[in-house]
Amino acid sequence: MNPNDLQIAEIWVYLSGSPLFALILTLTAYQVGSFFYQKTERNPLANPVAIAVILVAIALYLLDMPYQKYFEGAQFVHFLLGTATVSLAIPIYRGVAALKARVFPLLIALLCGGVVSIVSAVGVATFLGADSAIIGAFYPKSVTAPIAMGVAERLGVSPTLTAVFAVITGIIGAILGSHILNLLGMKQWWQRGFAIGVAAHGIGTSRAFAVHPEAGTYASLAMGLHGILGALLIPLLKNYI
């Protein structure tokens, strides 16, 4: 090894050991993901989180860096999940006027949708013989990811699988949502938005905002309320069914 190589190796050892590297990697990957998302005019398939996860995974593979080491550095980002969860109170508060106008139908629909989202996913996965670790992550996956991961941790379910399933759920909902609602002949924007928000949390909500502001408001409200309901409902269903 010549002295130059040695120096580069030393720099690499220093950088890869500090949280800076994991933070730069995470944020750069997200930046690239957001770039593609904007370029494709916010196509749900070009989801910035999905792109970022794939890019970071490839980078770790090429650099031969163990996941645990990456996570140690990136946990500063991870920590903010709890803080972001608390801040969801503000979008829910903005939707309170919308909720007050139709509190009864919205809450009943939310409860039905919330129960169906869990029972259908867990039911199909169990019927098809999936592993128990995977089935466990299907309980919280329809709730907005920061809350879903918090619930998963409490239930001893993998937050990783929960986050991945939650993102895929959001993408599927954002792609199929409008078609399903058209087939059902749903005409009211508030009903369409609310259904998307219950089923496809944040990713569905940003899709709803792109289609119509009223749909977006109700989707955002549905996502927040489903988060609170999920934190109560998921442990109940998981432990007693």
Query: For residues 95-154, which are near another protein according to CB under 8 A?
Result: 96, 102, 104-106, 108-110, 112-113, 116-117, 120-122, 124-125, 128-131, 133-134, 138, 141-142, 144-147, 149-151, 153-154
| 83 forms part of the interface with another protein (CB under 8 A) | yes
**Site residues for another protein, window 39-68 (CB under 8 A)?**
47-49, 52-53, 56-57, 60-61, 67
Residues 235, 136 contacting (CB under 8 angstroms): no
- Cβ closest to another protein, residue 6 vs residue 184: 184
Q: Number of residues in contact with another protein, rule: CB under 8 A?
A: 106
Nearer to another protein, 8 or 124 (CB): 124
Give whichever of 4 and 83 is closer to another protein, judged by the CB atom.
Answer: 83
Beta carbons of 153 and 138 less than 8 angstroms apart: no
What is the rounded radius of gyration, in angstroms, for the C-alpha atoms of the chain? 20
Nearer to another protein, 45 or 96 (CB): 96
Nearest approach in angstroms of CB 144 to another protein is 8
Pick from 32, 42, 63, 158: which binds another protein (CB under 8 A)? 158
Residue 88 phi/psi, 5° resolution? -65, -15
220/240 Cα distance (integer angstroms): 30
Q: What x/- string results for residues 165 through 204 when contact with another protein is judged by CB under 8 A? A: xxxxx--xx--xx--xx--x-x-x--xx-xxx-xxx-x--
C-beta pairs of 87-94 under 8 Å, 24+ apart in sequence: 88/144, 88/146, 88/147, 88/224, 88/227, 89/224, 91/220, 91/221, 91/223, 91/224, 92/220, 92/221, 92/224, 92/225, 92/228, 94/217, 94/220
DSSP label at 18? S
Q: How far is the CB of 83 from another protein (least distance, A)?
A: 6
Q: Is 214 in the site for another protein (CB under 8 A)?
A: no
Rounded Cα distance between 27 and 52, Å, is 8
Tokens standing for residue 124:
């199909």
Residue 219 as a binder of another protein (CB under 8 A): the answer is no
The distance of Cα 223 from the centroid of its chain, to the nearest Å, equals: 11
| One residue of 27, 38, 40, 43 binding another protein per CB under 8 A | 27
